[in-house]
Amino acid sequence: MLKTYSKIKKYILASMILAPFLPFIIVLGIGFYYFTSSIENSTLAGLKQTVSDHRQMIDTFLQERKSDLIFISKAYGPETLLKQASIQKAYNDLNSKSRAFVDLGVFDENGIHRSYSGPYQLTLKNYENEFWFKQVMKKGTYISDIFLGYRQVPHFVIAVTSRVNSHVWIIRATIDTKQFSDLVEKVQFGRTGEAYILNTSGIFQTTRRSGGNLMETDSEFTQFPYSDNGIMHFIENIKTGKKFLYTSTFLTEKDWLLVVRQETAEVFRQLHTASYLIILISLSGGAVIFSIAIVLTNRIINRIRQIDNKNELITQQLIHATRLSELGEMAAGFAHEINNPLQIIKNEQSLLLLMIEEINKSSSAIQPQTNKEINDSLEQIAIQISRAAKITQAILKFGRKEKPSMSQIELQSFIPEIINMVKGKATVNDISILKYFPENAAPIVCGDPSQLQQVLLNLLNNAIDAICEANDSTGGVIKIEIALPDTSTVEISVSDNGIGINPDNIEKIFAPFFTTKPMGQGTGLGLSVCYGIIKNMGGEMTVSSNKNDGTEFKIQLPAA
Amino acid sequence: MIKIPIKVLVVDDEKDFVEMLCLRLKETGEQTSFAYDGETCLDILAKSDIDVVILDIRMPGMDGIETLQKIKHDFPLVEVIMLTGHGTTETAVEGMKLGAYDYLLKPANFSELQIKLNGARNRKDEQEERIRRARTKLLLRKSGDI
Amino acid sequence: MMTEITILLVDDEAAFRQALSRRLNKRGFNVLQADSGSQCLSMLNNHSVSVIIMDVKMPEMSGIETLRQIKKKYPDKVEVILLTGQVSAQDGVTGIKIGAFDYLTKPVEIDHLAEKIKQANESIIRKEERIAENAFREKVAHQMAAAERLASLGTLATGIAHEINNPLAIINESAGFLSQILARQKMLQIPCRKEFELSIDKIITAVERAGKITHQLLGFARNGHSDYTRVDLPELIAESIDLLTHEMSNRNIDITTSFDPLSKEIMTDPFQLRQVFINLLSNANYAVGENGRISISTANHGQEVAISIQDTGPGIPANHIEKIFEPFFTTKPPNKGTGLGLFVTRNIIDKLGGSIRVDSKLNVGTTFRVVLPKCLEMQIKAFETENSATDWISHIKGESYHDKNSD
């Protein structure tokens, strides 16, 4: 039985948790997805904007420096610049436009450094085989990658050509890498956000804040996805275990890659906060659902159990009643069988009495001594017959073999009369008898008054005995209550606060000859007779008891 | 031959039964006494000379079996006939194991009771005789030693 | 160990039947054959078959019709696998609705069929186990009810015995005393002495009769306790006969016995079982009259033993057969029987886990047949190990151990 309850409980609990929990989780999941993707999109969009703005700025810078150089070459003319004074002046001009220029030099078409203005001694050095020289000769203008050159200092140069007559002159200026790096690195956002430039071979053209010096190779570069143009973004794990969100784009002025990156943990911090919030919501929501489910399930299971117990009780009572009626039949048959010889004995006894009388009247009277002995014996027989007959009558009553004489009994006046009969005994034992009648009804039952009286007296006497047997017999209370459960039934209940009945005995309590009283007190027929009488009147009698708490007998009789 | 009366003690909580049975036994020439419970029964046995006890098994207070045990312990020579009104034969058999001479079912047949009374008395006489003989032997041996 | 599965192959095509039968034989099945539905039904009467493989299309009685009749007659004893043609698969569905285990379309794949046969056989075994389990439960419940009835009867008997026997004893002694007074010398001359004696006699007889009723009930009811021990059945029966020999030899009654050596020893309560025998034997003795014959025989029935007690008496009228086990029913004249004998007998046998049946023919005789388990507790134990022990069974078992210990 218990097993089935726990099974039902598991089933109900599972469905009560799952039913609200599943949609809850789904709604939460969908919300989470849209929320996070919107955050992700806006973050990315911001990053891309940054990259594109930055590229614009760097491109502009390079373009301006290039125009500066072209302007100088046009304004002065390459041949004029061969003079030291002119080139000095031109450098000053240039410097006034932008502090980024480190030096200025003029080269002839054979790569000989013809004049120079700047901190280094580079005049007359041959640059014929330098990469930038070849490039500028080929393209007319050129911005170099960072290289060391004769000065053995990382720098990059902008060079333009100028044609005078049939001679080609090259005018070159070096850009301050420090200034350029500052320009690039100027972009700074968040704690880990940074920008830097790589050339096509992944060599740093500007320094990187989080480590990465000029001329070094970016170790992550090989993992970058490659695209010719446009802005790219990707997430890359770097060797230190950190995760970065990269945004990269090529510059328009030079085939340099501008990289802006930020640690994903920082980029998506908002996202994480959102996740934590969602987890918190689902946990607390789950807890609420769970506890509600448990409370409700317990309530349902208790209800089921109550109903089951009630049904069980009814079934038990039914079985019990059937068994009692079976026993009743048997007992009645038994009593009947015993009654036959008892009847014979009774007849013979009266016959003997008659004969003795006759003899004593006649002339041959018996001696007084002997006569007394005979009469005593006959009297003894009579006494014992009635004693045995009482028992068989009681058994017959339990077995319902007699038709009761039915009449209407007004309980309102009937019950106080009975209470009066036991009042003396009750008062002696300090027991109060309380009666409860329904307020606006006068219950009348259909039954045999003397038999009902016998039943109630029996119950009251039992109740008094039960209270006296309890250790603290003071404050004993017997309640007689009348209720009308429906229009056709009157229920009389007699309850006490005595010792109660042992659960083992409660089933047997109505069986004939069952008694818990010590030998010689009570035959064990009282309650079985009560039961038989009530059954015979068309009523029901039940008992409920808690050991040490008391006992309640309920009698249901048809209302008149 | 003159009949030697048997000294019978009837023990039962049914007073009327005890009374009637005593009357009948007296009528057949026995000597009777009676008790209504086990305690009184033992008192009487201590005070007077009894041959046979007729003992009801079911009695309030000390019941028949318990009384029987005490009788057999304190007065081993006294014979007991168990009487059972309600009990199954098993209780009676238990009584026999404890040393009762025999048992009878209530209501008992009087001639059967008489036969069993005589048998019980004879057994008691025999045992007393044996003890007497043993004592004499012992006495004789003792005097022989001297 | 796998026991051999017996298959009944039903098909009107002899060639198909032979071929399939050979192939199934090779796989270790025991195959029987029938060529029509009616032959199948008649074969089921005298063969124990667990699986039937039957063609749906048969002349005369169709497979579906045969299936219907099989399921009506043997709802749980046999499973049917139907064979249908490709086109008549609908028949198979109909068959399953009626209770076929499964259907296969021809041509059958032998491995598949063998697998299905094994499944069907398992299903039959499961059903049988379930039926056996239910029957066993019913039996134990019945037995417990009998024990309970006997116990309440015991309380009743003890109560009555105590309350009635004491007054009866006093009446007995009083009447006896009266007759003793009557026997006194001076009373010998009293008038109507004869009438006096007659009355007193009647009283004493009546007391004896009432006493007999109470003691008989007491002796049988014994408060519902049982002592289970190893009992030598022939010895117990011989003992019971001995107790009645005196009564029987007077009337020249012939008693014959025949014992099955296989059911010599059983575990039961000897006292209660002896009571049963004494009871049945004295009934037989009463029935046969002079020069009658009573025969007692035992027969072995696996876990049970059957004991028959047959007499050549006048038999029991049909309208009494139903009532003979009821309390206080007797056909004996008043003052002869209490009417409790057979009632208590049946209750005792119920409690011992057995059953009693009566067959009677007027003017030929009556046979009481008592079937008892050889060992009730072993049966319960065997049942437990076969099935997963249910709470219920262990509860019963606990009770019976409890009984044993309290004795």
Is residue C387 predicted with pLDDT exceeding 50? no
**Number of independent structural domains in chain A:** 2
* Planar angle of CA B116, B118, B123, nearest 5 degrees: 95
Q: For residue A333, what are the domain limits? A: 291-399
How many angstroms away from the CA of C319 is the closest CA of chain B?
A: 35
CATH number at A447 reads 3.30.565.10
What's the CA gap between A116 and A149, in Å, rounded? 15
Closest partner residue to B88 among C171, C172, C218, by Cβ?
C218
Contact call for A330 and C153, based on CB within 8 A: yes
pLDDT at C390: 42
Chain B contact present for C227, CB below 8 A: no
pLDDT score of C379: 55
CB contact (8 A) between residue C166 and residue B21: no
Instruction: Say which range, A444-453, A505-514, C139-148, C318-327, has the weakest mean pLDDT.
Output: C139-148
State residue A410's pLDDT score. Answer: 87
What does A105-174 look like in DSSP terms, one character per residue? EEE-TTSBEEEEESSS--TT-B-TT-HHHHHHHHHSEEEPPPB-TTTTS-BEEEEEEEEETTEEEEEEEE
For domain C6-108, give its CATH number from 3.40.50.450, 1.10.1040.10, 3.30.70.20, 3.40.50.2300.
3.40.50.2300
Nearest to B8 by CA among B98, B101, B87, B96: B101
Give C72-76's long-range contacts (Cβ < 8 A, gap of 24+): C73/C41, C73/C44, C74/C44, C75/C99, C76/C124, C76/C127, C76/C128, C76/C131
A354 in a domain, yes or no? Answer: yes
Tell me if chain B has a CB within 8 Å of the CB of C171: yes
Residue A542 domain-assigned (yes or no)? yes
pLDDT surpasses 70 at C384: no
pLDDT digits (tens, 9 = 90+) for B18-31: 999 999 999 899 99
Among C170-179, C323-332, C377-386, the range scoring the smallest mean pLDDT is C377-386
**Nearest CB to B106; choose among C158, C166, C222:** C166
> Looking at the structure, do residues A378 and A458 belong to the same domain, yes or no?
no
* Chain A interface, best mutation among C156, C202, C340, by max A CB count within 10 A: C156
Residue A436 lies in a domain: yes
Cβ separation of B24 and C173 shorter than 8 Å? yes
Give the chain A residue whose CA is nearest to the CA of C216: A334
Instruction: State whether residue A386 sits within 8 Å of chain B by CB.
Output: no
- In C194-223, the residues whose Cβ lies within 8 Å of chain B are 207-208, 211, 215, 218-219, 222-223
Q: What is the pLDDT of residue C219?
A: 61
- Give the closest residue to C271 by CA, choosing from C214, C326, C348: C348
Q: Tell which wins on pLDDT, B7 or A423.
A: B7
Q: Do C170 and B23 touch (CB under 8 A)?
A: no
The residue of chain C nearest to residue A381, with distances taken between CA atoms, is: C171
Nearest Cβ partner for A519 among B16, B23, B60: B60
Whether C189 and chain A come into contact, CB under 8 Å, resolves to yes
Within a domain: residue A317?
yes
pLDDT classification of B87: cutoffs 50, 70, 90:
low
Considering only CB atoms, B17 lies closest to which of C170, C208, C211, namely C170
Nearest to C327 among A330, A373, A387 (CB): A330
Integer distance in angstroms from the first to the last C-alpha of chain A? 42
Confidence (pTM): 0.51
Are residues A547 and A455 both part of a single domain?
A: yes
DSSP string, C330-365: --SPTTT--S-HHHHHHHHHHHTT-EEEEEEETTTE
For C155, what's the count of Cα atoms within 13 Å in the CB-facing half-sphere? 23
* Backbone angles phi and psi of A476, in degrees to 5: -70, 140
Nearest neighbour of C196 by CB, restricted to A323, A355, A525: A355
Per-residue pLDDT at A400: 60
Same domain for A508 and A539?
yes
CB contacts, 8 Å: A377 with chain B: 20
The nearest alpha carbon in chain B to C218 belongs to B88
Does the CB of C160 have a partner CB in chain A at under 8 Å? yes
Instruction: Please determine, for residue B51, whether its predicted confidence score (pLDDT) is greater than 50.
Output: yes
Cβ-nearest to B58 among A380, A518, A519: A519
ipTM of the complex: 0.80
Q: Decide: C91 and C69 in contact? Cβ < 8 Å.
A: no
The arithmetic mean of pLDDT across residues C388-404, rounded, is 40
Whole-angstrom distance, CA of residue A18 vs CA of residue A33: 22
- CATH assignment of C154-221? 1.10.287
Arithmetic mean of pLDDT over chain C: 79
A241 interfacial to chain B (CB closer than 8 Å): no
Answer with the residue of higher pLDDT: C155 or A8. A8
Task: Tell me if A377 and C174 make a contact (CB, 8 A cut-off).
Answer: yes
Could B16 and A518 be called an inter-chain contact, meaning their C-beta atoms sit closer than 8 Å?
A: no
* A463 and A414, same domain (yes or no): yes
The domain limits of chain C are 6-108, 154-221, 229-404
Distance, in Å, from the CA atom of A102 to the CA atom of C176, rounded to the nearest integer, reads 157
Chains that touch A (3 or more CB pairs under 8 A): B, C
CB within 8 Å: A366 and C167: no
Q: Which residues of C touch B58 (CB under 8 A)?
A: 162
Looking at chain B, how many residues does it have? 146
Question: Do residues C338 and C214 lie in contact, with contact meaning Cβ atoms separated by under 8 Å?
Answer: no
pLDDT level of residue B38 (50, 70, 90 thresholds): very high
Which of the listed ranges A210-219, A375-384, B94-103, C133-142 does the model predict with the highest average pLDDT? A375-384
Chain C residues near residue B16 by CB distance under 8 angstroms? 170
For B24, nearest residue in chain C (alpha carbons): C177
Report whether pLDDT(B58) > 60: yes
Report yes or no: C144 at the A interface, CB cutoff 8 Å. no
Whether A395 and A475 map to the same domain: the answer is no
Question: Minimal Cα distance from A380: which residue of B?
Answer: B16
Please judge whether B16 and C170 are an interchain contact, meaning their C-beta atoms are less than 8 angstroms apart: yes
What pLDDT score was predicted for residue C223? 45
What DSSP string runs through C59-74?
A: SSS-HHHHHHHHHHH-
CATH code of C229-404, in short, is 3.30.565.10
The DSSP secondary-structure symbol of C5 reads P
Chains that touch B (3 or more CB pairs under 8 A): A, C
Flag if A519 and B16 touch (Cβ within 8 Å): no
Q: How far is B146 from chain C (nearest CA, A)?
A: 58
Cβ within 8 Å, pair B107-C174: no
Specify if A488 maps to a domain.
yes
Q: How many CB pairs under 8 A join B and C?
A: 63
Cβ distance of A377 and B20 shorter than 8 Å: yes
Q: How far off is chain A from C214, nearest CA to CA, in Å?
A: 8
Question: Quick one: pLDDT at residue A403?
Answer: 66
pLDDT < 50: residue spans in chain A: none
pLDDT for C213-257, tens place per residue?
777 666 655 544 566 778 889 988 988 887 777 667 677 888 899
Please tell me the distance in Å from C279's CA to the nearest CA on chain A: 19
Q: Which SS3 state, helix, strand or coil, does residue C297 take?
A: strand
Q: Which chain A residues contact residue B14 at CB under 8 A?
A: none
Are A388 and A415 in the same domain? no
Is A373's CB within 8 Å of B60's CB?
no
Q: Kind of pairing, strands C51-55 and C79-84?
A: parallel
Higher-confidence position of C65 and C92: C65
Domain limit, last residue, from A357, A383, A399: A399
A308 with A341, same domain: the answer is: yes
Q: Indicate whether A390 and A524 sit together in one domain.
A: no
Nearest CA in chain C to A371: C181
**Closest Cα in chain C, distance from residue B28 (Å):** 8
pLDDT higher than threshold 70 for residue C16: yes
Residue of B nearest to A383 (CA): B16
Q: Which of C156, C177, C186 sits opposite A327 (nearest CB)?
A: C156
Say if residue A412 is in the same domain as residue A511.
Answer: yes
Cis peptide before C167 (omega within 30 of 0): no
Q: How far is B112 from chain C (nearest CA, A)?
A: 13
- Predicted local distance difference test score (pLDDT) of residue A81: 83
Of A333, A366, A388, the CB nearest to C328: A333
B59–A contact, CB cutoff 8 A: yes
Among the partner residues B20, B59, B60, nearest to A380 by beta-carbon distance: B20
Which pLDDT does position C87 carry in this prediction?
65
CA nearest to C156 within chain B: B86
A446 and A537 in a single domain? The answer is: yes
Query: Are both A535 and A434 inside the same structural domain?
Result: yes
Considering the domain boundaries, does residue A271 fall inside one? no
| Average pLDDT over every residue of C76-96 | 79
Residue with tokens 């789950």: A286
Does C76 lie at the interface with B, CB-CB under 8 angstroms?
no
Q: How many helices (H) and strands (E) does chain A have?
A: 11, 16
What tens digit of pLDDT does each residue of C29-61 get?
A: 888 888 888 888 888 888 888 899 888 888 888
Please tell me what DSSP assigns to residue C4.
P
Amino acid present at C290: E
The answer to whether the CB of C269 falls within 8 A of the CB of C228 is yes
Tell me which residue of A552, A553, A459, A545 sits closest to A501, measured CA to CA.
Answer: A545
**Same domain for A441 and A330?**
no
The answer to whether residue A333 sits within a structural domain is yes
Distances in Å between the alpha carbon of A276 and those of A25, B34, C225? Answer: 15, 99, 72
Task: Let me know: does C177 contact B20? Beta carbons within 8 Å.
Answer: yes
pLDDT tens digit sequence for C167-210? 999 999 999 999 988 888 777 777 778 888 899 999 998 998 88
Identify all chain C residues contacting A388, using CB atoms and an 8 Å cutoff. 163-164, 167-168
Choosing from A399, A426, A460, the residue where a domain stops is: A399
- Long-range CB contact pairs, A207-210, < 8 A, 24+: A207/A181, A209/A185
